[in-house]
Structure 1
Amino acid sequence: MIDFARVHKELQECSKDVENSGIKVIPKRDNLACLIGTIPGPIGTPYEGGTFQIDITLPDGYPFEPPKMHFATKVWHPNVSSQSGAICLDILKDQWSPALTLKTALVSLQALLSAPQPDDPQDAVVAQQYLKDYQTFAGTARHWTETFAKALSLGVEESCLVLLQVQKLVEMGFLEVQVRSTLEAVGGDENLALEKLLSG
Structure 2
Amino acid sequence: MCDIGRVQKELKEIEKDKASGVTVSIRDNNLQMLVGTVYGPKDTPYDGGIFTVDIQLPDSYPFVPPKMRFITKVWHPNISSANGAICLDILKDNWSPALTLKTAMLSLQALLACPEPKDPQDAVVAQQYLKDHKAYVATAKQWTADYANPNKKDEKVERLAEMGFDREAIKAALTACGGRSQHLGGALNQTLS
Fold shared, TM-score > 0.5 on shorter chain: yes
Q: Counterpart of 2:180 in 1: which secondary structure?
A: helix
Deviations for 1:36-59, whole angstroms, at most 9, x for unmatched residues?
011100000000000011000000
How has the CA–CA distance of structure 1 residues 86 and 5 changed in structure 2, closer, same or farther, with 3 Å as cutoff? Answer: same
Q: Which has the higher contact order (CA 8 A, sep 6+)?
A: 2
RMSD: 2.5
Question: 1:11 matched to which residue of 2?
Answer: 11
Question: 2:123 matched to which residue of 1?
Answer: 124
TM-superposed CA distance for 1:162, in Å, is 2.9
TM-superposed CA distance for 1:167, in Å, is 1.5
Whether 1:141 and 2:153 are equivalent positions in the alignment is no
Deviations for 1:48-84, whole angstroms, at most 9, x for unmatched residues?
0000110000001100000000001000000000000
**CA distance in 1 between partners of 2:109 and 2:48 (Å):** 13
Question: 2:61 matched to which residue of 1?
Answer: 62
Question: 1:176 matched to which residue of 2?
Answer: none
TM-score (norm 2): 0.82
**CA distance in 2 between partners of 1:130 and 1:51 (Å):** 22
Question: 2:181 matched to which residue of 1?
Answer: 168
Deviations for 1:113-171, whole angstroms, at most 9, x for unmatched residues?
000000000000000000000110000000000011013789x99755335384216x9
Question: 1:88 matched to which residue of 2?
Answer: 87
How has the CA–CA distance of structure 1 residues 109 and 87 changed in structure 2, closer, same or farther, with 3 Å as cutoff? Answer: same
Question: 2:76 matched to which residue of 1?
Answer: 77
How has the CA–CA distance of structure 1 residues 36 and 153 changed in structure 2, closer, same or farther, with 3 Å as cutoff? Answer: farther
Gaps of 5+ in 1: 172-189, 191-200
How has the CA–CA distance of structure 1 residues 153 and 41 changed in structure 2, closer, same or farther, with 3 Å as cutoff? Answer: farther
Gaps of 5+ in 2: 154-167, 189-193
CA contact (8 A) 1:51 1:152 kept: no
How has the CA–CA distance of structure 1 residues 136 and 160 changed in structure 2, closer, same or farther, with 3 Å as cutoff? Answer: farther
**CA distance in 1 between partners of 2:4 and 2:178 (Å):** 26
How has the CA–CA distance of structure 1 residues 124 and 165 changed in structure 2, closer, same or farther, with 3 Å as cutoff? Answer: closer
How has the CA–CA distance of structure 1 residues 157 and 74 changed in structure 2, closer, same or farther, with 3 Å as cutoff? Answer: farther
